[in-house]
Chain A
Amino acid sequence: MTKNLRVKTTKLIDETYKISFKFNGTTYYGYKGDTLASALLANDIHLVGRSFKYHRPRGIMTAGSEEPNAIVQLHNNTSLTEPNVRATEIEIYEGLEASSQNCWPSVNFDIGGINNFLSPVLPAGFYYKTFMWPASFWEKYEYFIRKSAGLGKSPTKPDPDIYEHRYIHCDVLVVGAGISGIMAAKTAAKNGFKTLLVDEKSYLGGSTIYQNSENFKINNQTSNSWLEKEINEIKKFENLEIKIRTSVAAFHGYNFLLARENLTDHLPVEQRKNKTRHRLLKIRAKKVIMATGSLERPLIFDNNDRPGILLSSAIEKYANLFGVMCGEKNVLFTNNDSAYETAISLFKKGINIEAIIDNREEIDSKLIQETEKNNIKIYKGYTVVNTAGYKRINKISIMQLSKDGQKVLGSKISISCDCLGISGGWTPAVHLFTQSGGKLKFRDEDQVFIPDKYPSDQISIGSCNGDFTLNEILSNVPNSLRKFLNIKKTDYENLEVHSSFNKSKRNIWLLPSDKVIGKTKPFVDYQNDATAKDIKLALREGFRSIEHVKRYTTTGMGTDQGKLGNMHALGIISETAGSKMGELGTTTFRPPYTPLTFGTIVGRNVGEYFDIFRKTPMHDWHVQNKAEFENVGQWKRAWYYPQNGESMHDAVQRESKAARDSAGILDASTLGKIDIQGTDASEFLNRVYTNAWSKLSIGKCRYGLMLNEDGMVYDDGVTTRLGENHYIMTTTTGGAATVLGKLEDYLQTEWPELDVYLTSVTDHYATVSVCGPNSKKIVSQVIPDLDFSDENFPHMSFKNAKIGKIKCRVMRISFTGEHSYEINVQANYGKSVWEKCMEAGKEFNITPYGTETMHLLRAEKGFIIVGQDTDATMTPIDLQMDWIVSKKKYDFIGKRSLYRSDTIREDRKQLVGLLTENPDDVLEEGAQIVGDMNKSPVEMLGHVTSSYYSPNLRKSIALGVVKGGKNMMGQKLIIPMESKQINVTVADPVFLDKENKRLNA
């Protein structure tokens, strides 16, 4: 039977609303408002998980997002499952099922726990050092390491939840709704700023809201009731938006912040249906006020990680906010006054405190006096040297500290307990500030990093700025706000503040022990099981940079990013290495501050919304005719049209044969089309293409190759001269946008004197390409008024024509090597022209073909596809396309690069044809090409770029790039495959109709 450890709760807990939940299969009860952590503690459960490396039992340590230990798996083995959820953050709901992670078979008996006893042989860098030799064993090691590593389990089922993104623009963003944040939000809103206030918790008011103590008063009211009134007031402002359960993940430059708004994780599962789960807020704020508060530091001593050891402030929060006592025999261990606040709170609630261990010797403050008045025993000048209790702390040993804090003296005193609260003072939460590019400074007096230089219009206020006491906050925050918001006054001038807090602190990063360091386990990073010993070892082994020590020891690399222990790691390094904290710097704080789900990051961009896709005007026809589609850039292109359950291979063979035997029809609408006009249009084309354009007469088409300035082929296509100063350029489907961008770049920046205008018209025209020996008969039926005779309309020319009333441009150009026409019409007529061609072609068995057949047909002719046969390392010379490079032109883009020492090398990879010894062997695209298999190491000469079985030639054909291939015509090469070697002969890349007879057939 578990105990009920609930004492009087606050308003934030609804005791009339009982919630049942499961933890490791057992049903427990909590109240509405509880976190999983508070509900477990109320049921006397501390042991929640096992540590990462040593599998040591671990419990709840904190009450917030900094939690390193109490991370659980939710709804294991369902599609809702989520690993590494902090029990301190998840609010319980009816039906919640949580389980421990990183333990097998159970959290109570974990086989990995043996690592704890092996720890002397598992030092920092153990994996780096041990699993290196022999290298061939790595695969075996990896299996075991992976099995024993990792925290939670990744979901294996699709995420059923809905996520979305939202942009927010505001004048003032306030991050954190503690006392400082509330003051800031109210002041901003009252002065007319459009304000957004966010806080990661489910309630407003931070830690002040549950601090019901006579020791902290504002204008004669306890600080929490004063703040409550302020909160009620800010809710009235229409220009203030308040978002709770909203955690800022990233603070980028120019005041751009990303925050995750958690909308449904606290609701029972059945109430989440059709609701957005998380919303990623993309916030652009004119001004940012960081009021992110501070995190309590632990203390570093031997076995400081047992279940039952919590931060002192967490114990206070569980008692004051949730009405939960973390133990019945509580001991507090502190180096500052904060633990006394906890002590007084517990005492008032009737919770037993056995003792307080304070490492300061000479101390006095109102809080301490009050504590002593309540007969709580205080050991002054003592430190905890060890703890006992495997799955729950049951005893601590304390010893007296030497004056210099380096040693312990006297004899050990044992104190039995079931809960130990530790308080090492406070660390400002400057993570987001530094992410934004802010620079920190080190304040020696209390050993904290605080904001120094702001990179944008922002300030940090309150305890994240190092103002830890109520006095400091209420006197500094109004000043900061006045200056930052440029206003005359705030509501917070001349408040009467009463605070009993004394700032004295005795900071010792690593507390001394009666044992030598090698024999102790003082944990610095709880989640990653890094101890002070590991850090010292790293330093002994020569690591100096904090970034290197971090990676070697994995300190600060867990899902909590070392929110608790990073400062201690720095402190221990600086003490051991004898360097100053301020000079050592910190490790880089990187987004996200707390983990984000993948769903939040992708938002609605999933499934069909993953990316934009573009459809041609004939798309519906392709769908109706059962086309399979392929993605080309953003376009959906018909890939092939299987008939009667044909395989892709069979469909492509049929289509390819039909196109050469009679007629084929292709939707070529996706090709990029750029309209070029202006008196310098010809000169411009001369400069951007490798060949000459000035002499192209009106009504003629020409193929052009475009290079980058480095001489490498960039794009190709046919350009037609429509008029004296008017051209239409086609580009590859995928290259359309970048070609336009590149041309605009040259026009605007290098040649602004040219009179040229560029307009993208890709979407404005639909293009129907009809090819094959019967193509002329078909298009002349579709366009009866046009004279299709070879004399009037030869290959590589263009005519304006009309189909009924529809204007069209007809080009006689060919990418297949067949007699072929392209009809361009205004896009919305595309489908009807396509259907007309189909109708006219019926008697010739006109066959629609897709991109795969197009590729096959052009490969038979040895035509390249930029991006398939080229890869930005191929010059036109490498492609054996010397014929297209003008020798006469003085200059064009890339010309000079064609005779650089590297581009004139004879042994560059060059495009060649490849024929297999066995004509039925079809090569794999991407396969390596080898000359001599016996040479060691085997030299890779190149690779296959295009490969097909040609139904028209009845043999396998391929294109490939081979070092020095140009001069290897007829030579035998080898394609080694997994199962066999394929012998190939280097051939001319033009496999079919070298004489181009078919163009005029």
Chain B
Amino acid sequence: MFIINCPYCGEREQSEFKAGGEAHIVRPKQPTELSDDQWAEYLFMRKNIKGIQFERWVHTHGCRKWFNVVRDTSNDVIEAVYKMGEKPPTK
């Protein structure tokens, strides 16, 4: 079980959070103008990386805020957390 450093509350047990999949997938502003393929790309395609992955988490049993986590999926080490809307850390 991870310990996640919520950017609003601090370090908490993983059981207080929920994972929300890959981060930085922006909902298209004009979905109706997309082709089936383009929409499918948004809807279904996820990278599922082994290694450093940017993902969304929400502090469900806490502040209920969504934020981003940089996690190495090969060993679950969390490299960084940052708020929604913030740029992902480089390196």
**Quick check: A741 and B58 within 8 Å, CB to CB?**
yes
**In the complex, what residues of A have CB within 8 A of residue B85's CB?**
752
Tell me if A256 counts as interface (CB < 8 A to partner B): yes
**Quick check: A900 and B27 within 8 Å, CB to CB?**
no
Residue of A nearest to B26 (CB): A750
**In the complex, what residues of A have CB within 8 A of residue B64's CB?**
744
**Quick check: A745 and B43 within 8 Å, CB to CB?**
no
Cβ distance A780 to chain B, nearest Cβ, rounded Å: 41
**Residue of A710, A748, A890, A896 ringed by the most chain B CB atoms within 10 A:** A896
**Quick check: B39 and A896 within 8 Å, CB to CB?**
yes
Within 8 A of B (CB), among A864-913: 890-891, 895-897, 900-901
Contact with A along B1-32 (1 / 0, CB 8 A): 11100000000010000101000001100111
Contacts A745-B20, A748-B65, A749-B56 hold; do A900 and B39 have CB atoms under 8 A apart? Answer: yes
**Quick check: B75 and A897 within 8 Å, CB to CB?**
no
**Residue of A254, A744, A749, A901 ringed by the most chain B CB atoms within 10 A:** A749
Contacts A253-B76, A741-B58 hold; do A896 and B20 have CB atoms under 8 A apart? Answer: no
Contacts A744-B64, A745-B66, A897-B43 hold; do A253 and B75 have CB atoms under 8 A apart? Answer: yes
A744-B18 Cα distance, complex, nearest whole Å: 13
Tell me if A675 counts as interface (CB < 8 A to partner B): no
Cβ distance A549 to chain B, nearest Cβ, rounded Å: 25
**In the complex, what residues of B have CB within 8 A of residue A284's CB?**
3, 13
Residue of A nearest to B78 (CB): A254
Contacts A709-B43, A710-B43, A749-B84 hold; do A253 and B31 have CB atoms under 8 A apart? Answer: no
Could you say which interface size class chain A belongs to?
Answer: 20 to 34
Tell me if B49 counts as interface (CB < 8 A to partner A): no
A253-B72 Cα distance, complex, nearest whole Å: 12
Contacts A253-B75, A891-B30, A896-B31 hold; do A901 and B66 have CB atoms under 8 A apart? Answer: no
**Quick check: A749 and B43 within 8 Å, CB to CB?**
no
Residue of A nearest to B40 (CB): A900
Partner among B13, B31, B75 whose Cβ is within 8 Å of the Cβ of A891: B31
A682-B25 Cα distance, complex, nearest whole Å: 26
Tell me if A455 counts as interface (CB < 8 A to partner B): yes
A455-B58 Cα distance, complex, nearest whole Å: 25
**In the complex, what residues of A have CB within 8 A of residue B36's CB?**
900-901
**Quick check: B58 and A745 within 8 Å, CB to CB?**
yes
Contact with B along A734-770 (1 / 0, CB 8 A): 0000000100110011101000000000000000000
Give the B interface residue count (CB, 8 A).
Answer: 27
**Quick check: A254 and B3 within 8 Å, CB to CB?**
yes
A749-B65 Cα distance, complex, nearest whole Å: 10
Tell me if B60 counts as interface (CB < 8 A to partner A): yes
A891-B75 Cα distance, complex, nearest whole Å: 40
Within 8 A of B (CB), among A943-986: none
**Quick check: B43 and A253 within 8 Å, CB to CB?**
no
Tell me if A861 counts as interface (CB < 8 A to partner B): no
**In the complex, what residues of B have CB within 8 A of residue A603's CB?**
none
Residue of B nearest to A746 (CB): B27
Tell me if A243 counts as interface (CB < 8 A to partner B): no
Cβ distance A173 to chain B, nearest Cβ, rounded Å: 15
A891-B39 Cα distance, complex, nearest whole Å: 13
Cβ distance A751 to chain B, nearest Cβ, rounded Å: 9
**In the complex, what residues of A have CB within 8 A of residue B84's CB?**
748-749, 752
Cβ distance A370 to chain B, nearest Cβ, rounded Å: 49
Residue of B nearest to A711 (CB): B43
Cβ distance A129 to chain B, nearest Cβ, rounded Å: 36
List 6 extra interface pairs beyond A748-B66, A748-B84, A897-B43, CB under 8 A: A256-B1, A437-B75, A709-B43, A741-B60, A750-B27, A900-B40
Residues of chain A touching chain B, judged by Cβ–Cβ distance below 8 Å, are 252-254, 256, 284, 437, 455, 709-710, 741, 744-745, 748-750, 752, 890-891, 895-897, 900-901
The 5 A-B residue pairs with the shortest CB-CB distance, nearest first, are A896-B31, A748-B66, A253-B76, A256-B1, A750-B27
